[in-house]
Amino acid sequence: MKYNRILLKLSGEALMGKQQYGIDADRLMQYAQEVRAVAELGVQVAVVIGGGNIFRGVQAEAFGLDRVQGDYMGMLATVINSMALQSALEKLGTPTRLLSGLTIQRVCEPYIRRRAMRHLEKGRVVIFGAGIGSPYFTTDSAASLRAIEVEAAVVLKGTRVDGIYTADPEKDPSATRFPQITFDEVMEKNLNVMDMTAFTLCKENNLPIIVFDMNKKDNLLKLVNGEQIGTLVTMTGDAEHDVAAKPGTLLPEQKRASTASAEQQA
């Protein structure tokens, strides 16, 4: 496997499946199975899920609500999605912990960095709910910040398209996909990858981003095993150099040692 620790970012809208609202049970279980398969390899997995299938904070003003209040409502929506994913994973026998940016003692633990890292080291899937616990910040920003804090090797942004394109592929059939691109090129071309706060956090901390199609079976598994799926965003465009520099990434000699250890245990 290529990565020892990853952060997976999922959109709330993706959980709707073919529905117009809420959580599609089949899509939820599909995602849980994908995460379980990766965790069973020994990869340490953290997850951040959006809440757009239930409520988005930016919708608040359209309803005549205060923006700050709306953002807190959106955070609670992410907790609902996080609880659903936790339940699906545990149904499959995968140990999980839900850590929240808001204090909700009855359903989840408060976010504490050292506790989160300890859970990951023990092989538990860690789900981060409620964003960063403050208004005006998106779940993309939460994903970037939590990934940096727990020293993940990469942010894997699961979407319904298979990477970053020159234009919206759903609207422009002539759009072409970038297999690899630098942070600076994304900004120069004004490509929509994440909100600027989240993207800048990754850039300033040399944290690679991979945008990929989460709905295609086994894509997540292929990614952690080193296959080139989706679009990789790095500082220099040199995938091996940039990704190998992260603490959660296995170097070639570590990969060989990990493989040999697994074979001995088998």
Judged against a pLDDT cut of 50, whether residue 114 lies above it is answered with yes
Please give the pLDDT value at position 248: 60
Q: Strand pairing of 209-213 and 231-234? A: antiparallel
For 34-47, give one letter per residue: b (16+ CB within 10 A) or e. bbbbbbeeebbbbb
Average pLDDT over residues 207-218: 96
Instruction: Count Cα neighbours of 17 within 13 Å in the Cβ-side half-sphere.
Output: 11
Give the tens place of pLDDT for each residue, 157-181.
Answer: 999 889 999 988 888 989 999 999 9
Give the pLDDT of residue 71: 93
pLDDT in tens, 126-154: 999 999 999 999 999 999 999 999 999 99
Residue 126 pairs in a beta bridge with 46, 97
- Please determine, looking at this structure, whether the domain spanning 5-265 carries the CATH number 3.10.310.30: no
Q: Which tokens sit at 87?
A: 């339940």
Break the chain into its structural domains and give their ranges: 5-265
**How many CB atoms sit inside 10 A of residue 99's CB?**
21
3-state secondary structure of 157: strand
pLDDT reported for residue 266: 40
pLDDT at residue 262 in the model: 43
Tell me the three state secondary structure of residue 156.
strand
